[in-house]
């Protein structure tokens, strides 16, 4: 072999080796792809997604599917360059900077915990929205989220405690609890009446001065609701708030006579608040692909996502624009009964 040929061979081998090594190098990106769908009026792993006890329910049919986005990568399991390149070539997935899902100031575990809490909050809001739509009375409550380590409340108030009164005065809003505590002088005791494990108890907690000089006990609280009957929602490891709309529709369907869908396969997404307002979400492109693959022909789309949705809607999937739970119910009613036009995402 000539010297020139040997040089070219060695150079080619080195180039190939560098390319292989480069392809295996971790990169700070995340691949988003269509995730699983779950029928909110069906079962998952043999268990109803929505189980209602203490109130009459009605049989239903069809599908009201929540949709999800799966991801690869993250700070604890970084992608290699080759996987990222494959993702850039696949129109059904998105490759985004790692910080999109995992901000630098938070760990992967903190992100997972936040997603879990957002799912819990979403289920509460979805239940409240459905019951409000049905004019079923619900009651606002204040619950303990956590206590500050070493604060007077640490070890006395527990996560999940429902605060019903402060110093004998009934409370139902976060602001009223804070006002009652701050009305004391730092160093004084505050008596909390809490509902814990179904029983009422009184807990005395000391106060200290906060940065503003006002009394505080070191407790983080969140708003919640007490419902007149039990609504359990089970979807496994799905996290985040974007299934709120579909949970509300599933609850509404089970609490009303007849099948809301009329047997249609409907998917959708969107956050929801207790008043029934529907908000936009992320990953709309991947969620539509997942919905269509699961057989959906209608996709309930938050108005705030319409502009992105119309650019990537899969063939055979009809986009229905929704802004409220009431609007979504009316749209599904109209589709089922073939009763005129329904709001659509505008083209372009």
In the set 65, 122, 180, 242, the catalytic residue is 242
Instruction: Give CA torsion, residues 40, 317, 116, 118, to 10 deg.
Output: -100
CA-to-CA distance for 45 and 264, rounded, in angstroms? 22
Q: Are strands 265-268 and 63-73 parallel, antiparallel or unpaired?
A: parallel
| SS3 (DSSP) at 46 | coil
| SS3 (DSSP) at 5 | helix
Residue 264 in contact with residue 62, Cβ under 8 Å?
yes
Q: How open is the CA angle 255-40-60, to the nearest 5 degrees?
A: 45
Helices within 81-227 (DSSP H only): 81-89, 108-133, 174-182
Whether residue 33 lies in the annotated active site: no
Q: How far is CA 340 from the centre of its chain?
A: 32
Helices within the chain (DSSP H only): 3-24, 81-89, 108-133, 174-182, 244-254, 284-293, 306-312, 325-337
Whether residue 158 lies in the annotated active site: no
The single-letter DSSP state of residue 304 is G
CA-to-CA distance for 305 and 309, rounded, in angstroms? 6
Q: Tell which residue, 257, 251, 250, 242, has the closest CA to residue 302.
A: 242
In the set 156, 216, 254, 287, the catalytic residue is 287
Active site (catalytic) residues: 242, 287
């Amino acid at each position: 072999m000539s010297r020139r040929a040997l040089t070219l061979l060695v150079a080619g081998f080195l180039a190939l080796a560098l390319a292989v090594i480069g392809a295996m190098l971790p990169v700070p990106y995340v691949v988003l792809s269509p995730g699983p769908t779950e029928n909110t009026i069906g079962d998952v792993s043999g268990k109803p997604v929505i189980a209602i006890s203490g109130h009459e329910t009605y049989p239903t049919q069809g599908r009201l599917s929540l949709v999800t986005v799966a991801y690869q990568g993250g700070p604890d399991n970084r992608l290699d360059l080759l996987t990222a390149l494959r993702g850039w070539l696949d129109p059904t997935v998105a490759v985004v900077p790692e910080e999109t899902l995992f901000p630098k100031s938070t760990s992967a575990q903190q992100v997972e915990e936040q997603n879990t809490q957002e799912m819990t909050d979403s289920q509460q809001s979805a239940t409240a929205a459905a019951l409000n739509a049905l004019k079923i009375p619900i009651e606002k409550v204040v619950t303990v989220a956590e206590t500050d380590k070493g604060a007077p409340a640490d070890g006395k108030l527990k996560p999940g405690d429902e605060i019903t009164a402060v110093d004998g005065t009934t409370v139902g809003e976060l602001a009223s609890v804070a006002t009652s505590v701050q009305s004391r002088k730092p160093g004084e005791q505050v008596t909390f009446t809490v509902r814990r494990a179904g029983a009422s108890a009184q807990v005395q907690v000391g106060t200290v001065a906060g940065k503003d000089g006002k009394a505080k006990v070191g407790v983080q609280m969140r708003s919640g609701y007490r419902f007149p009957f039990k609504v359990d929602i089970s979807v496994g490891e799905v996290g985040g708030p974007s299934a709120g709309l579909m949970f509300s529709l599933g609850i509404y369907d089970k609490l009303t006579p007849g099948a809301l869908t009329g047997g249609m396969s409907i998917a959708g997404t969107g956050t929801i608040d207790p008043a029934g307002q529907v908000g936009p979400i992320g990953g709309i492109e991947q969620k539509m692909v997942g919905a269509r693959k699961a057989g959906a022909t209608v996709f309930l789309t938050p108005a705030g996502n319409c502009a992105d949705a119309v650019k990537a809607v899969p063939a055979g999937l009809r986009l229905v624009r929704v802004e409220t739970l009431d609007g979504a119910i009316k749209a599904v009613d109209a589709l089922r009964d073939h009763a005129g036009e329904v709001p659509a995402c505008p083209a372009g």
